[in-house]
Structure 1
C-alpha cells in the first residue's frame, strides 16, 4: 500500500536538492580556489540553510538518512517509507 505524500514533502525535497547542487559546485570551486572568502561564506550559508531544512523536514516526514537529525525516540523509524528516493 502506498502512502499519500503531501505537496510540502516535494517542496522540501526540491529545495534541498537545489541546495545540494550548489554545495557540490561550491565544493569543486573551493578545491581550486581555497582562499576565496566570498565563496567560502556562500558555502557556509548554504550549509546552514540545508541543515535548517533537514531539521524542519525530519520531524514531519521522517529521517533523510539512517543517521538523521531526528531523535530515534523509542522506535527505529528509518525502515518506514517512503524513503526520499522512492517518491
Structure 2
C-alpha cells in the first residue's frame, strides 16, 4: 500500500476517533458550545477526508454512502481493514 493511501486512512481513523469522543462528551455536556463547534469541525474534516480517499481509492464501505461512478470498485484489494501499519 502506498504511503499517501496509508496516511489518508490514518487521518480518517483519527478523525473518526475524535468525532466519537466528542459525541460521548456532548452526550453529558450538551450546552458546551465550544465542544460542539470542535465536533462540527472534526465532522466536516472527516467527511472531506473520506471523500478524498474514495475519489482516489474507492469506497470505504460496501453500501449506502458512496455511489460507484466507474466499475464496481468495492471488490478491489486491499480492503481498508486489511491494511497493515
Bin the TM-score by the shorter chain. 0.7 to 0.9
| Structure 1 unaligned regions, length at least 5 | none
1:20 matched to 2:5? The reply is no
TM-score (norm 2): 0.87
Large movers: runs of 4+ above 4 Å: none
C-alpha separation between the residues in 1 aligned to 2:55 and 2:5?
A: 12
**Residue 74 of structure 1: how far off its partner (Å):** 4.9
Who is 1:55 aligned against? 51
Who is 1:34 aligned against? 30
TM-score (norm 1): 0.86
| Structure 2 unaligned regions, length at least 5 | none
- Relative contact order, higher structure (CA 8 A, sep 6+): 2
